[in-house]
Amino acid sequence: VDLLYTFDMNLRGIMSPLKVGMSALFISSSGTSLIAIRRASLTSSGLVCCGPFPVSAQKSGSKSWRTFLKPCFKLNKLSMSSKSELDSNSQIPKYLRDMKFCSKCSTALSYEIPELDNVVRAVCSSCGYVVYVNPKLVVGSVCMTRDKTKVMLCKRTIPPVGTWTLPAGFLEMGESSIDGVKREALEEANAHVQVGPLLSVYNVPLGGLVLLMYVSQLLNPSEIHPGSETSDVSLFSWDEIPWNNLAFPTVTAALKYAQLNLDSGDKIIPQNLTKNREGILE
């Protein structure tokens, strides 16, 4: 793949593209110069500054616009701040601050915006390893009896201790989301469930979490009992749910949305909410 991108003179954003075959060309806001990324492979570097570049070149007809590209110099980092500035100010994300040493070679990590990237990351100055920290995926379900008159809740022995929650937890490597839902119900409540449709997606950007909540049917209601992370497991009718003692806003939202969709069968339109800085789902 051979891609060409141009940014405005302050590197603030990509302008409108002009597609030419397998390439894309973006002209700067001034129309007189451009900065282009030419990337032949995922590992190649190619941030090149070119100019001057007349806008008329894109309309030159038989004369290819490629003849106007005159590489001037190569940039080693696409960085909005110098490394020293990143090391000393609040631009370092909280989730990176505790990362001190490279997991590959044990060299001290630095914080910078890697080449062809636009996010501050922990980078090894010795072997070049870049630490990519991505949101974690949580899966769970609103687990109901066959007649949908009762829902299963678990009382937590981990913070927030003593609150009620739905069986849910982090997805493990090698699992599908459905497998994760079944495992969490079994671990937390010795519950065997049949997983139904996706109920809701909850985004928690500040916590680095994305939650997938499903509807499930409890297959062994007489055999449920607490697991290692729960002190109690109970079946509640909808009017008995301890709404004032639920663990998280996402638990409350999932239960209410499930109750609204009791008659929807497998045709639930998934709810998609994001938790804002005030802790409110919207």
Distance CA 68, CA 56 (A): 10
β-pairing verdict for 271-274 and 193-204? parallel
Residue 210 has pLDDT above 70, yes or no: yes
Q: What is the pTM of this model?
A: 0.69
**Which band of pLDDT confidence, cut at 50, 70 and 90, is reported for residue 89?**
low
Q: Which helix (H) or strand (E) holds 235?
A: strand 230-237
Nearest CA to 32 among 49, 14, 47?
49
Q: What is the pLDDT of residue 97?
A: 81
Residue 71 has pLDDT above 70, yes or no: no
| Report for 15-19, 83-87, 108-112: range of highest mean pLDDT | 108-112
Nearest CA to 141 among 262, 54, 258, 15?
258
Q: What is the pLDDT of residue 64?
A: 40
Alpha helices, DSSP H, located in the chain: 83-88, 177-189, 249-260
Distance CA 131, CA 102 (A): 8
Of 84-88, 89-93, 196-200, 267-271, where does mean pLDDT reach its minimum?
84-88
**Which band of pLDDT confidence, cut at 50, 70 and 90, is reported for residue 278?**
confident
Residue 85: what residue type? Answer: E
Q: What is the pLDDT of residue 112?
A: 87
CB distance 255 to 166 below 8 Å = yes
